[in-house]
């Protein structure tokens, strides 16, 4: 039995405004996204090791689309590296993100939380919602992890949409109050989407571990790739 089988595999509201959508990406789209990630990983402005202001390095290797993320801000070029222009954010990825937000909204609307107003999604998004225009792609080898943090460098309040590929991981999701407990842990598997917005948009979250060797064989990936789509 894998770790994932111990956890629910139904769409679920994990915290107010935070929704796990298991198996959201079909295999074909997982392969397409992975192929795109491998292309984006090439220089210029490809995969890199992120240096933190304190001098440490992130164990997750990363690349940006649309705008370059550095600790802590966004820029049009790799300001803390070689200065190259960041690769463009593809429109199709924004469409996937918007569609995952719609599905998450439906889960929230069916749940016990506050009901959205008429004609509005559960996140309050509407025709004026900021478009998805940036993404971070994270590459995890077997020992990589991501500490508890908030995604707080974006100006817009649109939900963050994460897509996972490859090895499964434990995703820890807490509150906006601080990096400690309470939190919930969910297993994210290849193809899962996770949407967090509304009251959870600035919640602390992290990846304490991945499970080596659990990627679907057909995908051809050692390790884990996560793509988080955001609106700047």
Ligand X SMILES: O=C(O)CCC(=O)C(=O)O
Residue ranges in contact with Fe ion by CB under 5 A: 151
Q: Is 45 exposed, middle or buried (0-12, 13-18, 19+ CB in 10 A)?
A: buried
Closer to ligand X by CB, 60 or 108: give it: 60
Whether 130 and 231 have beta carbons less than 8 Å apart is answered as: yes
Among 21, 207, 221, 229, binds ligand X (CB under 6 A): 207
Q: How many CB atoms lie within 10 A of CB 165?
A: 27
Cβ 163 to Fe ion shortest distance, Å: 13
Q: Is 95 exposed, middle or buried (0-12, 13-18, 19+ CB in 10 A)?
A: exposed
Question: Interface with ligand X includes 146 (CB under 6 A)?
Answer: yes
40 binds, among ligand X, Fe ion, none (CB under 5 to 8 A by kind): none
Question: Interface with ligand X includes 136 (CB under 6 A)?
Answer: yes
Question: Interface with ligand X includes 185 (CB under 6 A)?
Answer: no
Q: Following CA atoms 166, 221, 39, 35 in sequence, which dihedral angle do they give, to the nearest 10 degrees?
A: -70
Residue whose pair of structure tokens reads 């999701």 in the numeric block: 173
Among 64, 190, 200, 228, binds ligand X (CB under 6 A): 228
Task: Determine the Cα–Cα distance for residues 73 and 167; give it in Å rounded to an integer.
Answer: 29
Question: Interface with ligand X includes 153 (CB under 6 A)?
Answer: no
Closer to ligand X by CB, 107 or 225: give it: 225
Judged by CB under 6 A, the chain residues 57 through 116 that form the site for ligand X are none
In the complex, the residues that contact ligand X under the rule CB under 6 A are 136, 138, 146, 151, 162, 171, 188, 205, 207, 226, 228
């Amino acid at each position: 039995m894998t770790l994932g089988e111990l956890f629910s595999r139904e769409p679920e509201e994990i915290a107010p405004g935070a929704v796990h959508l298991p198996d959201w990406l079909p295999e074909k789209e997982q392969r397409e996204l992975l192929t795109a990630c491998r292309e984006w990983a090439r220089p210029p402005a490809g995969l890199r090791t992120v240096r933190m202001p304190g001098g440490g390095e992130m164990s997750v290797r990363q690349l940006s689309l649309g705008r370059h993320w550095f600790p802590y801000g966004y820029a049009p070029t790799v300001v803390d590296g070689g200065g190259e222009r960041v690769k463009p954010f593809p429109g199709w990825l924004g469409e996937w993100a918007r569609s995952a937000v719609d599905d998450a909204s439906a889960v929230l609307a069916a749940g016990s939380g506050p009901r959205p107003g008429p004609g509005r999604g559960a996140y309050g998004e509407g025709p004026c919602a900021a478009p998805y225009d940036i993404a971070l792609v994270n590459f995890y080898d077997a020992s990589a992890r991501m500490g508890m943090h908030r995604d707080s460098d974006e100006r817009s309040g649109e939900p963050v949409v994460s897509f996972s590929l490859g090895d499964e991981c434990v995703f820890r999701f807490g509150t906006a109050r601080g990096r400690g407990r309470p939190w919930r842990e969910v297993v994210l598997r290849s193809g899962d989407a996770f949407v967090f917005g509304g009251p959870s948009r600035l919640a602390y979250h992290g990846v304490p571990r991945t499970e080596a060797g659990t990627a679907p064989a057909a995908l051809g990936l050692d390790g884990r790739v996560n793509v988080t789509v955001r609106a700047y």
